[in-house]
Structure 1
Amino acid sequence: MANILLVDDDVENLWSLQVALEGDSHRVSVAGDVRRALDILRRNPIQCIVTDYEMPEIDGVEFCRIVRSQPAHCALPIVMLSASPEPTDTPPFWNRFFRKPARVEDLISVIEEHTAAPLAGPASWQRRNAVASMRALLQCEHPPASRWAPVSARCWP
């Protein structure tokens, strides 16, 4: 069970994906645009993002780049969906790309692959997670940092 953020400007796509993922016991937050998605991401412990590629104002590629540039979220798994082919003119800031219409089973499988520890045991999961984290870290613009902001002791009474 993972906390998933769905980002799509098409309400029908959001609704159908939300129903499918909640039916598989995932907790789902939905956003109709990138600004709302960034607000949700700031306020909630999201474990995976599923985003559309073609959206007004800020597209999926730019959204992925913004997420990867944030130290607290640079290793977050991102799955991109689109009716268009995968963009090749930019570095892939996402982990997986699916062409619409994507099979829900494939999408759920990828989400679980990136968010859940497999039954093989914690040692193999940690090894695989370390490799995935290193790959994501190499894509980050800034090194990872704590989600906690430093507090100056001078501001205390």
Structure 2
Amino acid sequence: MSTILLVDDEVDSLWLLQIILEGRGYRILLAEGGEAALDKAARYLPDLIVTDWNMPGMDGIALCERLKFYPALAQIPVVMASGRVPPKEKSTLWNVFLSKPVDVDALESAIDSLLAKRLSSPQTRVNVPAPAFSRWQPISSKLWA
């Protein structure tokens, strides 16, 4: 099951998309702004992010810029949604731009395409070191040899 992080300052939009996407089998995380989204992305490493452009504080553009600073987050595909006119030149900050109100079928198609591309890519997983030993974890006899 793929995890999608939805980011929007409009709670009603978040809940509507959450209901629709959970009904289609996705695990959904919600963030009501860019700062919260960056924190949740770092904590949960979602498979995809759908973000609004216009938000107070850290907007969608700033969120995308910050995501690119972190190797573990830079590879997460992003769908940007906005009521603004899309930029004439394609941005490298996001993968897909959708105009609001978002067509749910177009969103689902973009999500399916981006997730399929991400899962088929050999660079989809970041090499994370093994967790440090816990003081409650039994110690292998190999360590004492």
Question: Smaller-chain TM-score range?
Answer: 0.7 to 0.9
Bigger drift between 58-67 and 83-92 goes to 83-92
RCO (CA 8 Å, sep 6+): is it higher in 1 or 2?
1
Output the TM-score relative to the length of structure 2.
0.79
Matched to 1:100, the amino acid is K
Aligned residues: CA RMSD: 2.5
Retained in 2: the 8 A contact 1:81–1:97?
A: yes
Which ranges of structure 2 fall in alignment gaps of 5 or more residues?
Answer: 133-145
Assess, with a 3 A threshold, how the Cα gap between structure 1 residues 150 and 87 changes in structure 2: closer, same or farther: farther
Count residues with an aligned counterpart.
130
Q: 1:146 aligns with which of 103, 127, 134?
A: 127
- Using structure 1 for the length normalisation, give the TM-score: 0.73
The Cα offsets for residues 110-150 of structure 1, whole Å up to 9 and x where unpaired, read as: 11111137xxxxxxx74xx36xx6xxxxxxxxxx9634499
Instruction: Give the whole-Å Cα distance in 2 for the aligned partners of 1:32 and 1:98.
Output: 19
User: C-alpha separation between the residues in 2 aligned to 1:114 and 1:45?
Assistant: 15
Q: 2:53 is matched with which residue?
A: 53
> Structure 1: which 4+ aligned runs deviate by more than 6 Å?
none
CA distance in 2, matches of 1:102, 1:90: 19
Identity percentage of aligned residues: 38
Over 3 Å counting, the alpha-carbon distance change for 1:24 and 1:150 in structure 2 is closer
